[in-house]
């Protein structure tokens, strides 16, 4: 496929993404004001609708492995790689009661931002140091008691495909405070969906969920998460498959 065609497809998906998002944000205004309990179902439906456009528009498919590591019920703590906006969408579509640990700046996005807290997301002021950490630990512990599946990106920000950065210790603190094992999650999402708006490439986004990591010290836990990601990076990401997200959940 020529680069020009890829760019046209990426532009079409951008129109789909922003059009769907705007429509759902408008629908979210009365929900935020009068029916906050519906904010999470609305967010899940939004994510599924957006991702449904990936195969027909961009020829991007999703292959999920390791779903059996996710508890059938109750709380969970997922430590995922963060390479693109895809990573912030896919768990909203997959998990029953997802709860993202996210940067506080996202709550300031018009229409979209005010829906995040009612949906149960946990904003963190990254400039707040110890105070922000205490607040995050309190909120994530409460989320675990409410049987939410907590999603955190230990890299702290989007990292380009093929790049590694030191992991932030927040995931270890959450695991200790909430009493949850960590499920490491690797992906190559940044290859098909890089940061550039019109840079999407056809292919397969692989998501690999690893087994629960046993309790251990902070440094050992961060090293084990990174080791799982490295092992996933040895896989053949570009191998074509005909497998959807739903297939991987069986």
Smallest Cα–Cα separation from 46: which of 144, 121, 115? 115
CA distance 142 to 137: 9
Whole-number pLDDT of residue 215: 86
Whole-number pLDDT of residue 1: 60
**Domain range annotation of the chain:** 3-248
Mind spelling out the 3-state secondary structure of 153-180?
A: CCCCCCCCCCCCCCCCCHHHHHHHHHCC
CA distance 81 to 87: 8
Whole-number pLDDT of residue 126: 77
pTM for this prediction: 0.91
As averages over each run of 10 residues, the pLDDT of the chain (250 residues) reads 88 97 97 96 98 97 94 96 96 97 94 95 86 93 97 95 93 95 95 90 94 92 93 57 47
228 and 211 Cβ atoms separated by less than 8 Å = no
Whole-number pLDDT of residue 129: 76
Whole-number pLDDT of residue 235: 59
- Host H or E run for residue 99: strand 98-103
Please state which of the four CATH numbers 3.30.1370, 3.40.1130, 3.90.105, 1.10.260 is assigned to the domain occupying 3-248.
3.40.1130
DSSP E strands: which ranges in 108-210? 122-124, 149-152, 182-187, 203-209
């Amino acid at each position: 496929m020529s680069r020009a065609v890829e760019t046209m497809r990426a532009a079409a998906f951008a129109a789909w993404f922003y059009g769907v998002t705007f429509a759902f944000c408008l629908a979210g205004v009365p929900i935020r004001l009068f029916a906050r309990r519906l904010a999470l179902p609305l967010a899940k439906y939004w994510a599924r609708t957006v991702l449904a456009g990936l195969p027909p528009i961009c020829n991007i498919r999703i292959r999920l492995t390791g779903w059996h590591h996710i508890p059938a019920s109750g709380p969970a703590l997922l430590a995922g790689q963060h390479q693109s906006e895809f990573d912030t969408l896919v768990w909203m579509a997959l998990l029953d009661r997802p709860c993202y640990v996210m940067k506080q700046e996202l709550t300031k996005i018009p229409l979209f931002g005010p829906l995040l807290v009612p949906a149960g997301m946990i904003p963190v002021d990254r400039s707040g140091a110890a105070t922000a950490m205490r607040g995050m630990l309190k909120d994530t512990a409460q989320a675990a008691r409410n049987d939410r599946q907590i999603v955190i990106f230990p890299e702290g920000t989007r990292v380009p495909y093929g790049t590694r950065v030191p992991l932030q210790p927040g995931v270890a603190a959450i695991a200790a405070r909430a009493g949850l094992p960590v499920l490491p999650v690797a992906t190559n999402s940044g290859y098909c969906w890089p940061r550039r708006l019109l840079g999407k490439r056809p292919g397969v986004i692989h998501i690999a969920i690893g087994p629960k990591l046993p309790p251990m010290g902070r440094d050992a836990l961060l090293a084990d998460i990174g080791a799982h990601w490295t092992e996933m990076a040895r896989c053949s990401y570009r191998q074509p498959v005909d497998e959807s997200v739903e297939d991987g959940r069986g």
